Amino acid sequence: MNDFLEILNPITKWLHIIAGIMWIGLLYFFNFINGHVAGTMDADTKKKVVPELMPRTLYWFRWGAAWTWFTGVILMVLIFWVGMGDSMFASNPDPEAGPNRLKHLAYILPFLMVFVYDFIYNSPIGKNTRVATIISFLGIAGVLCLLTCVFKMTEYRAYNIHIGAMFGTMMAFNVWFRI
Cα–Cα distance for residue pair 178/174, rounded to 1 Å: 5
What is the pLDDT, as a whole number, of residue 94? 56
153 has which bridge partners? 89
What is the pLDDT, as a whole number, of residue 159? 87
Torsional sign, CA 32, 35, 36, 38: positive
Q: Which helix (H) or strand (E) holds 19?
A: helix 2-28
Q: Which own/partner contact pairs does 54-58 have at CB distance under 8 Å and 24+ positions apart?
A: 57/26, 57/29, 57/30, 58/179
- Assess contact for 76 and 161: CB atoms under 8 A: yes
Specify the 3-state DSSP secondary structure of 5: helix
What is the pLDDT, as a whole number, of residue 96? 56
What is the pLDDT, as a whole number, of residue 148? 87
Specify the 3-state DSSP secondary structure of 94: coil
54-96 tens-digit pLDDT: 899 999 999 999 999 999 999 998 888 888 777 777 765 555 5
What is the pLDDT, as a whole number, of residue 97? 54
Cα–Cα distance for residue pair 65/33, rounded to 1 Å: 19
What is the pLDDT, as a whole number, of residue 165? 94
What is the pLDDT, as a whole number, of residue 114? 95
What is the pLDDT, as a whole number, of residue 153? 81
User: What count of other Cβ atoms lies within 10 Å of the Cβ of residue 45?
Assistant: 11
* Torsion region of 85: left, alpha or beta (phi above 0 gives left; psi -120 to 50 gives alpha): left
What is the pLDDT, as a whole number, of residue 34? 87
What is the number of H-type helices and E-type strands within the chain? 6, 0
What is the pLDDT, as a whole number, of residue 1? 65
Q: Residues of the chain whose pLDDT is less than 70?
A: 1, 91-101
What is the pLDDT, as a whole number, of residue 158? 86
Cα–Cα distance for residue pair 65/108, rounded to 1 Å: 20
Side chain identity at residue 10, one-letter code: P
